[in-house]
Amino acid sequence: MTIAERLAAVRARVEAACARAGRSPAGVTLIAVTKGFSAETVREAFEAGLRHFGENRVQEAAEKLPRLLDIRSDVTWHMIGHLQTNKVKTVLDLFDIIQSVDSFHLAEALSRRAPQAVSAFLEVNVAAELRSTDSPSMNSPENLTASPNCQPRGLRPDDRRPITAIQRTSGPFSPPVRSRPQPRLDPVLHGND
C-alpha cells in the first residue's frame, strides 16, 4: 500500500472514531511521526496531504529538515521527544510546536532563547507521586505563566503510559481529559507489517 492509501485508511478510522464520540474530525490534528524515515518519505506523505509532522530526535531533525525547505512554509513541525535544555536553540530553529515541555526549567530556557512566543504543550504529572526528574512547579498553574515566550497551547499528561488524549485549553489551564486508548496511527508511514 502507498502512503496515500494508508493515510486514507487512517483518516477513515479517525472519522469513524469522531462519529462515535460525537465530535468533528476537523478538531483532530493528525501528526505523522518521522523518526527513522527519510526526507523523501516525508515528502511523499506531504504530497499525500499530511501537513503536521513530528520528530523526537533533534539531531535527526537537524539533518532531515534542511532537505525539505521547499515545503517548510506549508508544514508544521512538532518536537515530540524529550528535550534537553542544551538543545533549546537548535529546537527553536527547527520546530513550530514543542510538545514535551516537562519542567519549569525547560520552559524558562525556551522563553529566554525564543525570539518570539513558541507554542508548547506542557507535560504534567497526572500520577499522585513525584519522580526524581519531576519539577513540582510544572504542576502548579500559577507558575506556568512565568515564562512569557513559552506559550502553553495545551496540557499533555505524563504518567509514563502512552498519551491517550491531549486537551487544548481555551482558557487558563484545564485538567487533561483521559479517553480510552486510541489505535496506533503509525500505519500511515509503516504500513500494517
pLDDT digits (tens, 9 = 90+) for 10-69: 999 999 999 999 999 999 999 999 999 999 999 999 999 999 999 999 999 999 999 999
Q: Which long-range contacts (CB under 8 A, 24 or more apart) does 163-171 make?
A: 166/121
Query: Who wins on pLDDT, 142 or 187?
Result: 142
Does the pLDDT value for residue 178 go beyond 50?
A: no
User: Distances from the Cα of 179 to the Cαs of 51, 89, 185, in angstroms?
Assistant: 25, 34, 16
Find the angle CA(99)-CA(120)-CA(66) to the nearest 5 degrees: 70
Per the CB < 8 A criterion, the answer to whether 147 and 110 are in contact is yes
- pLDDT in the model for residue 193: 40
Residues 6 or more apart whose Cβ sits within 8 Å of residue 134: 103, 125
- pLDDT in the model for residue 152: 72
Query: Who wins on pLDDT, 186 or 22?
Result: 22
- pLDDT in the model for residue 118: 87
Please, what sign has the CA dihedral across residues 13, 46, 89, 120? negative
**Helix 3-21, helix 39-47: angle, nearest 10:** 60
How would you classify residue 38: left for phi > 0, otherwise alpha for psi between -120 and 50, otherwise beta? beta
pLDDT digits (tens, 9 = 90+) for 114-162: 888 888 887 776 664 555 554 544 555 555 555 667 777 766 666 544 3
- pLDDT in the model for residue 54: 95
- pLDDT in the model for residue 100: 84
Q: Considering only CA atoms, which of 7, 1, 10, 15 is closest in space to residue 46?
A: 7
Q: 100-117 burial, b if ≥16 CB within 10 A, otherwise e?
A: bbbbbebbbbbbebbeee
- pLDDT in the model for residue 141: 52
- pLDDT in the model for residue 126: 62
Look up residue 37 and give its three cell numbers.
524515515
Would you kindly state where each structural domain of the chain is located, as residue ranges? Answer: 30-179
CATH of 30-179, one of 3.20.20.10, 3.40.50.12660, 1.10.3210.10, 1.10.150.120: 3.20.20.10
Render 69-109 in DSSP notation, one character per residue.
GGGGGG-EEEE-S---GGGHHHHHHH-SEEEEE--HHHHHH
- pLDDT in the model for residue 143: 55
pTM of the model: 0.74
